[in-house]
C-alpha cells in the first residue's frame, strides 16, 4: 500500500531543521521576550517566527491540512482536532531554556489523521538531535533506533518532571509534595530538561525511566508521544477523555509492555500500563 504520509514526514523533518537554524541564529542576537499567562510563561519573537514559517510552508504544500500551534492558539485560533490531517506544532518547546541559552530547546511537529497520530518529529536543535518516529515503524535519533529502558524497579530509576509555570504557592506545594513522595520511594534521581518533548525523548532513548507532568498541552507532547510509543514506551493520560486537546495531565512512562495498537482515543491512544506511584 502506498505510504501516504511519508512525504509529509519528510517535509516535517526539513522544516524542523530549518526552524532549528532560526533558533540557533536567534541565540546569537538580542531577544524580544514577552509574557503570556504569567511573568514566568514566556514567548519570544522566535517562537512566533518559527510557527509562521511552519504554517506558511504547510499551507503551501498541503493546502487541505489543518494546523494547531501553540502560538496560534495563544493568539486566539481554535485548538480543534478534526479528522482532517492536522499538524500539531510547538515551534520552540523549552522557551525559558531558549531565553537563557540553556541547551534543551526543541522544535516539535506531530501529525494526526482521523485523530490518530501518524508521525512525530522532535528536533533538539542546540544538541542537534533529530528524533523521529512513524506509527508502526520505530523511533530514531539521528537515524539510530531508540528503545526505552528495561529497568523494572522504580527504586533503580530516574524520573523526569517539570515545575510548570504557575508560582501559586498551593500549586508549588503540590509539585514538591509529589516530588518528595517519588524521591523517597526512593528513586535514583529526579531530572528535568526544561522541555517536555526532550524529557519524553529521553524516555524513548532509555536514559530516564519515566516522565510525568500535570497541566501540559497537546503541542508539548503530540510529536514526542509517537516517539515514546514507537520506542516501546507507554503513555498514560491521568484524566479522560479527549486527551489530545486538553491541557494534559500526562505521564509518559517506559515500562515495557505491548506496543500501543493505536494512538486514537483516550482508551486506545494511550496503552495501558502500571500506574505511576
> Footprint of ligand LIP on this chain (CB under 6 A)?
70, 90, 93-95, 162, 164, 194-196, 213, 216-217, 220
Task: Report the nearest approach of ligand LIP to the CB of residue 150 (Å).
Answer: 26
Closest CB to ligand LIP: residue number: 162
Q: Which is nearer to ligand LIP, 51 or 118 (CB)?
A: 51
Q: Which is nearer to ligand LIP, 40 or 185 (CB)?
A: 40
Q: Which is nearer to ligand LIP, 135 or 217 (CB)?
A: 217
Task: Report the nearest approach of ligand LIP to the CB of residue 105 (Å).
Answer: 8
Task: Report the nearest approach of ligand LIP to the CB of residue 239 (Å).
Answer: 15
Cα-based distances in Å from 69 to 94, 117, 230 = 15, 15, 23
Exposed, middle or buried: residue 65 (CB in 10 Å: 0-12, 13-18, 19+)?
Answer: middle
Q: Which is nearer to ligand LIP, 151 or 252 (CB)?
A: 252
How many degrees, rounded to 5, is the angle at CA 6 between CA 205 and CA 261? 55
Three-state DSSP state, 230: helix
Within the chain, what is the greatest distance between any pair of CA atoms?
A: 55
Residue 93 near residue 220 (C-beta atoms within 8 A) = yes
Task: Report the nearest approach of ligand LIP to the CB of residue 96 (Å).
Answer: 6
Residue 81 near residue 115 (C-beta atoms within 8 A) = yes
Amino acid at each position: 500500500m502506498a505510504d501516504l504520509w511519508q512525504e509529509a514526514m519528510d517535509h516535517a523533518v526539513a522544516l524542523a531543521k530549518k526552524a532549528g537554524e532560526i533558533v540557533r541564529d536567534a541565540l546569537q542576537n538580542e531577544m524580544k521576550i514577552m509574557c503570556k499567562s504569567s511573568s514566568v510563561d514566556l514567548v519570544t519573537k522566535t517562537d512566533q517566527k518559527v510557527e509562521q514559517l511552519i504554517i506558511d510552508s504547510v499551507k503551501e504544500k498541503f493546502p487541505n491540512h489543518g494546523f494547531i500551534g501553540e502560538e496560534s492558539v495563544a493568539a486566539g485560533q481554535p485548538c480543534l482536532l478534526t479528522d482532517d490531517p492536522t499538524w500539531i506544532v510547538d515551534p520552540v518547546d523549552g522557551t525559558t531554556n531558549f531565553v537563557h541559552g540553556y541547551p534543551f530547546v526543541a522544535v516539535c511537529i506531530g501529525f494526526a489523521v482521523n485523530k490518530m497520530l501518524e508521525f512525530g518529529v522532535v528536533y533538539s536543535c542546540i544538541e542537534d538531535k533529530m528524533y523521529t518516529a512513524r506509527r508502526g515503524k520505530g523511533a530514531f535519533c539521528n537515524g539510530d533506533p531508540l528503545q526505552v529502558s528495561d529497568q523494572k524497579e522504580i527504586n533503580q530509576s530516574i524520573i523526569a518532571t517539570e515545575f510548570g509555570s504557575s508560582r501559586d504557592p498551593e500549586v508549588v506545594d503540590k509539585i514538591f509534595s509529589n516530588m518528595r513522595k517519588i524521591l523517597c520511594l526512593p528513586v535514583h534521581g529526579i531530572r528535568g530538561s526544561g522541555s517536555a518533548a526532550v524529557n519524553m525523548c529521553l524516555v524513548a532513548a532509555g536514559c530516564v525511566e519515566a516522565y510525568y507532568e500535570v497541566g501540559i498541552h497537546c503541542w508539548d507532547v503530540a510529536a514526542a508521544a509517537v516517539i515514546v510509543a514507537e520506542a516501546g514506551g507507554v503513555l498514560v493520560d491521568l484524566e479522560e477523555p479527549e486527551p489530545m486537546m486538553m491541557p494534559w495531565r500526562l505521564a509518559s512512562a517506559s515500562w515495557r509492555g505491548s506496543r500501543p495498537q493505536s494512538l486514537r482515543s483516550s482508551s486506545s491512544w494511550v496503552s495501558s500500563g502500571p500506574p505511576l506511584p
